[in-house]
């Protein structure tokens, strides 16, 4: 579960008394994205000045030709068949977090190490038009609870292999603050001229990613200057991909305390080993508790082995029965990063973050999808937490609806979408869920396969043996 953040505003609470700041460096060469380092664990740090991404709109983006909007709630779930376009939307927050990081670079820095969004701009333009463009909008909420909407159009200059922001606008609390239109003639220039239709003045500026950096002589309105200050806040986005690292027979103890599981869950063993060695295994016990409903009558254990350690499952009915994680089903190692991160988040104070996870149910028995959904339901009820979940699990969705019907989960915390592709383009449709878990619409044929197979089975049985009916 990799963390994307341009990090210049984090303070480490536990070190304040020691006079040591908790800092993180930003590598300009690393696509203007930094991974939160081990010197500043999320359990020890308060992140100051971070925005929330509350919605996104795409047009001409990959398979989405027409404008398509997603409102992001604490729990946002995307459904759809394979190759419908779900990942094109779920991974977009990673790109926006990098673009709004305020680092020198292109508007959309595609060289992300966490997930493949695209290699060059034409990769994300509808029908991959070499001279095309994409239009995106991000709805943001600042620490002061102001609402911003930033809309921008990125044009591909194919002969120069350049991205150019030809349109950029921002609204604050519903009022248009600035609307910039490129009026230049040379897209290669580092400083470009724009006309602001709101103030009716020409402005010289550059863009650090998606954030305007006006020339010092530019005349800006007071409110535009205020918005630029708002945009100095960053987005905190984490990502857990669909394929997680396979376990090893043994691990060495990490030299530092890992603070996140990583994009493919590679940090899980280090987190558990460090906790067992240095903190009496408190987190290990919590993870074991969290996994009981997922894996049955087994408990996770960290077994020391000289300078190394092993991850094992111990039978709850016979403590002598121990199995190395390498020798158990793939589902255990696939779900462990999710449980570890949920426990780590639960152990710290409320904080703003958006976590993108693809197919959390991968390799799990359908019964385990139910408690898995509960992990996200619980997490989504914490202040500042947001999850964007792409899933193919019927049980996951059913558990969410059940918790709403039981009055244990507020439907206002949920946004459920169905993504459909007709062979030409993709569309987004929201499924509204009422206070009793009822839906206002359900796409035809979705999660009806078991019923259809049972019906066809009965028809085949009757066709071969009419007396069977």
Kindly report, residue by residue over 423-456, the tens digit of the pLDDT: 999 999 999 999 999 999 898 878 877 767 777 8
CA distance 173 to 179: 15
**Residue 25's pLDDT band (cuts 50, 70, 90):** very low
Tens digits of per-residue pLDDT, 359-368? 999 999 999 9
At 416, give phi and psi (nearest 5°): -115, 130
Q: What's the confidence (pLDDT) of residue 38?
A: 30
Q: Which whole-number Å values give the CA distances from 177 to 51, 171, 199, 226, 303, in the listed order? A: 18, 5, 9, 10, 59
Phi, psi (rounded to 5 degrees) for 398: -60, -40
Calpha distance 25→178 (Å, rounded): 32
What would the pLDDT profile of 103-143 be if each residue is shown by its tens digit?
Answer: 888 999 998 888 999 999 999 999 999 999 999 999 999 98
- Tens digit of pLDDT for each residue in 71-103? 999 999 999 999 999 999 999 999 999 999 878
pLDDT digits (tens, 9 = 90+) for 199-247: 999 999 999 999 999 887 777 778 888 898 888 888 889 999 998 999 9
Tell me how far apart the alpha carbons of residues 228 and 236 are, in angstroms, rounded to a whole number: 18
Mean pLDDT of 377-402: 94
Tell which wins on pLDDT, 469 or 398: 398
Q: How many CA within 13 A on the CB side of residue 460?
A: 6
Q: What is the pLDDT of residues 262-285, one digit of tens each?
A: 889 999 999 999 999 999 999 999
Q: Find the mean pLDDT for residues 366-390.
A: 94
- Determine how β-strand 414-421 pairs with β-strand 385-390: unpaired
pLDDT band at 157 (very low <50, low <70, confident <90, very high): very high
Contact 341, 267 (CB under 8 A): no
Residue 284 burial (CB count, 10 A): 23
Which span out of 72-86, 247-261, 452-466 was modeled with the highest average pLDDT? Answer: 72-86
Confidence band, pLDDT 50/70/90 cuts, at residue 27: very low
Rounded to an integer, what distance in angstroms lies between the CA atom of residue 409 and that of residue 180? 42
Lowest mean pLDDT among 173-182, 292-301, 327-336, 446-455: 446-455
* Residue 3: predicted pLDDT: 44
pTM (2 decimals)? 0.85
Structure tokens at 165: 């922001």
Q: pLDDT band for 1, please (50, 70, 90 cuts).
A: low
Mean pLDDT score across all residues of the chain: 86
Q: What is the pLDDT, as a whole number, of residue 454? A: 76
Rounded distance between C-alpha atoms, residue 81 and residue 358, angstroms = 13
431 three-state secondary structure = strand
pLDDT class for 49, splitting at 50, 70, 90? low
pLDDT of 346 strictly over 90 = no
Predicted confidence (pLDDT) at residue 348 exceeds the cutoff of 50: yes
Task: Provide the pLDDT for residue 345.
Answer: 87
Which pLDDT score is estimated for 462? Answer: 86
C-alpha span between 185 and 244 (Å, rounded):
47
Higher pLDDT, 161 or 458: 161
Looking at residue 350, its pLDDT comes to: 65
Report pLDDT for 233.
85
Which of 396, 278, 285, 296 is closest to 340 using CA atoms?
Answer: 285
What average pLDDT does range 34-59 have in this prediction? Answer: 59
């Amino acid at each position: 579960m990799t963390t994307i953040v341009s990090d210049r505003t984090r303070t480490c609470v536990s070190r304040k008394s020691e006079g040591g700041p908790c800092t993180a460096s930003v590598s300009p060469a690393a696509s203007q994205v930094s991974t939160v380092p081990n010197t500043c664990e999320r359990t020890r740090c308060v992140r100051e000045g971070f925005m929330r991404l509350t919605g996104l709109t795409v047009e001409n983006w990959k398979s989405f030709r027409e404008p398509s909007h997603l409102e992001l709630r604490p729990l946002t779930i995307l459904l759809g068949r394979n190759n419908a376009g779900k990942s094109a939307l779920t991974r977009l927050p990673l790109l926006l977090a990098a673009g709004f990081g305020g680092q020198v670079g292109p508007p959309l820095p595609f060289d992300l190490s966490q997930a493949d969004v695209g290699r060059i701009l034409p990769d994300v333009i509808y029908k991959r038009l070499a001279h095309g463009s994409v239009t995106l909008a991000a709805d943001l909420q600042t620490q002061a609870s102001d609402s911003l909407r930033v809309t921008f159009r990125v044009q591909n200059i194919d002969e120069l292999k350049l991205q150019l922001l030809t349109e950029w606008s921002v609204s604050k609390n519903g009022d248009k603050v600035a609307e910039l239109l490129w009026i230049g003639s040379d897209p290669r220039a580092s400083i470009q001229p724009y006309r602001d239709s709101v103030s009716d003045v020409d402005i010289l500026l550059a863009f650090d990613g998606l954030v305007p950096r006006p020339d010092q002589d530019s005349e800006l309105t007071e409110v535009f200057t205020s918005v630029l200050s708002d945009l100095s806040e960053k987005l905190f986005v984490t990502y857990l991909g669909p394929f997680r690292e396979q376990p090893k027979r043994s691990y060495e103890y990490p030299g530092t305390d890992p603070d996140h599981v990583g994009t493919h869950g590679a940090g899980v063993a280090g987190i558990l080993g460090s906790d067992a060695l240095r903190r009496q295994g408190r987190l290990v016990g919590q993870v074991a508790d969290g996994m009981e409903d997922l894996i049955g009558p087994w408990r996770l254990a960290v077994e020391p082995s000289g300078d190394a350690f092993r991850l094992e499952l111990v039978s709850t009915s016979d403590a002598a029965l121990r199995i190395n994680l390498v020798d158990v089903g793939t589902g255990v190692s696939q779900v462990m990063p999710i449980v570890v991160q949920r426990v780590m988040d639960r152990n710290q104070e409320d904080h703003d973050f958006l976590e993108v996870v693809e197919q959390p149910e991968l390799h799990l028995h359908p019964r385990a999808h139910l408690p898995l959904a509960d992990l996200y339901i619980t997490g989504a009820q914490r202040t500042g937490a947001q999850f964007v979940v792409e899933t193919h699990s019927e049980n996951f969705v059913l558990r969410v609806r059940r918790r709403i019907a039981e009055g244990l989960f507020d439907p206002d915390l949920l946004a459920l979408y169905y993504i459909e592709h007709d062979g030409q383009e993709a569309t987004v449709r929201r499924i509204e869920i009422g206070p009793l878990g009822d839906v206002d619409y359900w796409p035809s044929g979705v999660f009806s396969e078991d019923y259809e197979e049972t019906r066809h089975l009965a028809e085949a049985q009757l066709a071969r043996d009419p007396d069977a009916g």
